[in-house]
Amino acid sequence: MAEADSTTAEETLNQQTTETTDGFHIVIDALKLNDLNTIFGLVGIPITDLARLAQAEGMRFIGFRHEQHAGNAAAIAGFMTQKPGICLTVSAPGFLNGLTALANATTNCFPMILISGSSEREIVDLQQGDYEEMDQLNAAKPYAKAAYRVLHAEDIGIGVARAIRAAVSGRPGGVYLDLPAKLLAQTLDAVKAQQSLVRVVDAAPRQLPAPESVKRAIDVLKSAKRPLILLGKGAAYAQADAEIRAFVEQSGIPYLPMSMAKGLLPDTHEQSASAARSFVLQEADVVVLIGARLNWLLAHGKGKTWGAEPKKFVQVDISPTEIDSNVAIAAPVIGDIGSCVAALRAGLDAGFAKPGAEWTGAIAERKNKNLAKMAATLEKNPSPMNFHSALRAIRDVLKTRPDINVVNEGANTLDYARSIIDMYEPRKRFDSGTWGIMGIGMGFAIGAAVTSGKPVVAIEGDSAFGFSGMELETICRYDLPVCTIIFNNNGVYRGTDVNPTGGKDVAPTVFVKGARYDRMIEAFGGVGYNATTPEELTKALLEAIASGKPTLINAVIDEAAGTESGRLTNLNPQSAAMKK
């Protein structure tokens, strides 16, 4: 009897060890083991089954109509959570569509992983003409923080672990993970597969600043008469909200938030110098950059924007090579923002004095003057609506709902909304970012809605919306609480340009006049509104938010409103040449 029993046990063991799994399941297990439970993607050969199985295994799969928007959704999920957002695409064209989002994520320091299926290596490498043939790994490299390919099922666990660590450690960014079709179909002993998985420990370790770098920074701060803190989206990403607020308040230094750092402290905070931006950039003598780069968005730290007097910069950043990238940095503080700001705060000892009334008073005076001017502009009620009167209506509604996520893109729509719409909570504003690109709208809106479970209001120029408009179907399919507001002025920048030849074609910047974008969402079961006055816009937005349903408001703006390229007119070659 005893003998018979032991045979049975051995048989069972044999059965266990001969149980197999495949590449599809190992990828899913590797992601789930690392708490990555949502995939944004678009199915097709060879990854349809990966998406199906992921859903069957309890992951959320959000299917898009174009990979770029799936990638943008993944990227913004990464920014919001500090975990890499996952985007899944097919090979060659699908991969290339996703690559735009991957490049944008890398540029913006958002962690994401683009996973693409790929064709047969042997055929691709000999360029023998495979279905969707492309050397995706090498194509991805210049646009990603890192790029990896996995060839053997037993390496999937390590491949996913490397991708996660590369995406979130140090300066976050986009990572490409290449999964050939053959790999997904490979089988492996189930126990071995389980053992090959890696749960990443401490994916983004804290990096403490060197004490001497903190001391140097404090010394520079002590020498300041007119200090300024500049908060960038790195500061928002770092989720060190309480520490940053304490540093700002304890130091008494006025601050400016970059657009995606808005809400880190409420925009209504008395130390916010946003309404005196030009003044403080010109007049400050010491500027503390916290998670903000001195790129084009800050005029590279030099020139007219920064006034005549040379500045001293303190720069807090995780990336040592960011330092001195545009101008000399007097005091670099390298480390994670939470640790660096905590160390700086601890360094605000008895020898540090809050900035004097001469500086804070001058800022307050400038602020009040500009705010009064803006209030007068916002109060006007022109017919048809202009950007200001429409944004006033939106601002007043959003003020009552600080938890709402705001997505914003366009030229004029971006520029005006950024300064008119106040933000009250961190990581609630998502926009065109470091590249200043159009096309992030619906991808970010979907990513933000899925990730936060909270409503999203996407404030879109009519041109910007066009890049991702088909994703309205995705919004409706998943019944997401996204309200898209289109600032419709019949064209790119505005709708009044004419074809100088008198020919049949409209001018390059002009769209169909009087387009009814609200009817687009109705095609998919969403609710559309057409708003021609601020009152109609207010009513529609209140109703849209209360419904928690997919909605779209076509906000009809004066077609003559809007300037060429918004505030970037000087970047147009002809305008720049004319200025010279």
Closer by beta carbon to ligand ADP, 187 or else 278: 278
Stretch that binds ligand ADP, among 208-216, 292-300, 374-382, 482-490 (CB under 6 A): 292-300
Among 297, 327, 362, 378, binds ligand ADP (CB under 6 A): 297
Residues 374-393 that bind ligand ADP (CB under 6 A): none
Does residue number 544 form part of the binding site for ligand ADP (CB under 6 A)?
Answer: no
Does residue number 233 form part of the binding site for ligand ADP (CB under 6 A)?
Answer: yes
Stretch that binds ligand ADP, among 140-148, 318-326, 365-373, 552-560 (CB under 6 A): 318-326
Binding characters for ligand ADP, 320-339, by CB under 6 A (x = yes): --x-------------xx--
Does residue number 319 form part of the binding site for ligand ADP (CB under 6 A)?
Answer: yes
Q: Cα–Cα distance between 331 and 261 in angstroms, integer? A: 22
Closer by beta carbon to ligand ADP, 293 or else 312: 293
Does residue number 434 form part of the binding site for ligand ADP (CB under 6 A)?
Answer: yes
Provide the minimum distance between the beta carbon of 332 and ligand ADP in the complex, in angstroms, as a whole number.
Answer: 12
State CA 549 to chain mean position distance: 23
Residues 336-375 that bind ligand ADP (CB under 6 A): 336-337
Q: Is 421 exposed, middle or buried (0-12, 13-18, 19+ CB in 10 A)?
A: buried
Among 46, 78, 291, 562, binds ligand ADP (CB under 6 A): 291
Residues 239-258 that bind ligand ADP (CB under 6 A): 258
Q: Is the dihedral of CA 164, 170, 172, 177 positive or negative?
A: negative
Provide the minimum distance between the beta carbon of 213 and ligand ADP in the complex, in angstroms, as a whole number.
Answer: 13
Which DSSP state fits 548? T
Stretch that binds ligand ADP, among 231-239, 363-371, 436-444, 536-544 (CB under 6 A): 231-239
What own/partner pairs with CB < 8 Å and gap ≥ 24 does 296-305 have?
297/258, 297/434, 297/436, 298/230, 298/258, 300/326, 300/327, 301/326, 301/327, 302/326, 302/327, 305/278, 305/281
Provide the minimum distance between the beta carbon of 280 and ligand ADP in the complex, in angstroms, as a whole number.
Answer: 15
Does residue number 234 form part of the binding site for ligand ADP (CB under 6 A)?
Answer: yes
State CA 31 to chain mean position distance: 22
Stretch that binds ligand ADP, among 22-30, 194-202, 313-321, 324-332 (CB under 6 A): 313-321
Provide the minimum distance between the beta carbon of 437 and ligand ADP in the complex, in angstroms, as a whole number.
Answer: 13
Q: Is 518 exposed, middle or buried (0-12, 13-18, 19+ CB in 10 A)?
A: buried
Closer by beta carbon to ligand ADP, 130 or else 336: 336
Which DSSP state fits 4? H
Provide the minimum distance between the beta carbon of 340 and ligand ADP in the complex, in angstroms, as a whole number.
Answer: 7
Which residue, judged by CB position, is nearest to ligand ADP in the bound state? 234
Write down the residue that tokens 């010491």 correspond to. Answer: 286
Does residue number 315 form part of the binding site for ligand ADP (CB under 6 A)?
Answer: no
DSSP letters for 235-283: HHHTT-HHHHHHHHHHHT--EEE-GGGTTSS-TT-TTB-GGGHHHHHHH
Please choose, from the candidates 500, 429, 496, 423, the residue with its C-alpha nearest in 3D space to the C-alpha of residue 459.
Answer: 429
Provide the minimum distance between the beta carbon of 238 and ligand ADP in the complex, in angstroms, as a whole number.
Answer: 4
Q: What is the SS3 assignment for 120-148?
A: CHHHHHCCCCCCCCCCHHHHHHHHCCEEE
Provide the minimum distance between the beta carbon of 246 and ligand ADP in the complex, in angstroms, as a whole number.
Answer: 17
How large is the angle between the packed helices 412-420 and 387-398, nearest 10 degrees? Answer: 40
Provide the minimum distance between the beta carbon of 564 and ligand ADP in the complex, in angstroms, as a whole number.
Answer: 23
The answer to whether the CB of 540 falls within 8 A of the CB of 484 is: no
Please choose, from the candidates 316, 449, 21, the residue with its C-alpha nearest in 3D space to the C-alpha of residue 195.
Answer: 21
Q: Cα–Cα distance between 177 and 89 in angstroms, integer? A: 11
DSSP letters for 461-481: EHHHHHTTGGGHHHHHHTT--
Q: Is the dihedral of CA 563, 564, 567, 570 positive or negative?
A: negative
User: Considering CB under 6 A, how many residues would be counted as binding ligand ADP?
Assistant: 24
Does residue number 260 form part of the binding site for ligand ADP (CB under 6 A)?
Answer: yes
Stretch that binds ligand ADP, among 229-237, 265-273, 357-365, 387-395 (CB under 6 A): 229-237
351 phi and psi, to 5 degrees? Answer: -75, -5
Residue ranges binding ligand ADP (CB under 6 A): 108-109, 171-172, 232-234, 237-238, 258, 260-261, 291-293, 295, 297, 317-319, 322, 336-337, 434
